[in-house]
Amino acid sequence: MTVDKLLVCLEGVKKTGVNKWQARCPAHSDRTASLSIREVENDVVLVHCFAGCDFQEIMNATGLDASDLYPETTTHRSKPVRRPFAAIDALHAIAHESLIVLICASDTLAGKLLESDRERLDTAVERIQQANTACGVHHGR
Residues 14 and 40 placed together within one structural domain of the fold = yes
User: What is the number of structural domains in the chain?
Assistant: 2
Residues 53 and 103 placed together within one structural domain of the fold = no
- Reply yes or no on whether the pLDDT at 116 is more than 90: no
Q: Name the residue range of residue 10's domain.
A: 2-69
Residues 61 and 92 placed together within one structural domain of the fold = no
Strand partners, 35: 23, 49
Residues 129 and 97 placed together within one structural domain of the fold = yes
- Reply yes or no on whether the pLDDT at 23 is more than 90: yes
51-72 pLDDT, tens digit per residue, is 889 888 898 898 888 777 776 6
Cα 113 to the chain's mean position, in Å? 27
Q: Cβ distance 16 to 92 under 8 Å?
A: yes
Residues 14 and 65 placed together within one structural domain of the fold = yes
Give percent above pLDDT 70 in the chain: 82
Q: What is the DSSP string of 41-96?
A: GGGEEEEEETT---HHHHHHHHT--GGGGS---S-SSPPPP--PPPHHHHHHHHHH
- Reply yes or no on whether the pLDDT at 15 is more than 60: yes
* 74 within domain boundaries: no
Distance CA 111, CA 105 (A): 10
pTM for the whole thing?
0.51
* 81 within domain boundaries: no
| Cβ-based neighbours of 40, under 8 Å, separated by 6 or more | 19, 46, 81, 83
Residues 37 and 94 placed together within one structural domain of the fold = no
Residues 44 and 9 placed together within one structural domain of the fold = yes
For β-strands 11-17 and 44-49, DSSP reports them as unpaired
| Cβ-based neighbours of 64, under 8 Å, separated by 6 or more | 5, 6, 9
Q: How confident is the model at residue 20 (pLDDT cuts 50, 70, 90)?
A: very high
Q: Cβ distance 43 to 82 under 8 Å?
A: no
Residues 65 and 91 placed together within one structural domain of the fold = no
Task: Select from 69, 100, 117 the last residue of a domain.
Answer: 69
| pLDDT attached to residue 14 | 92
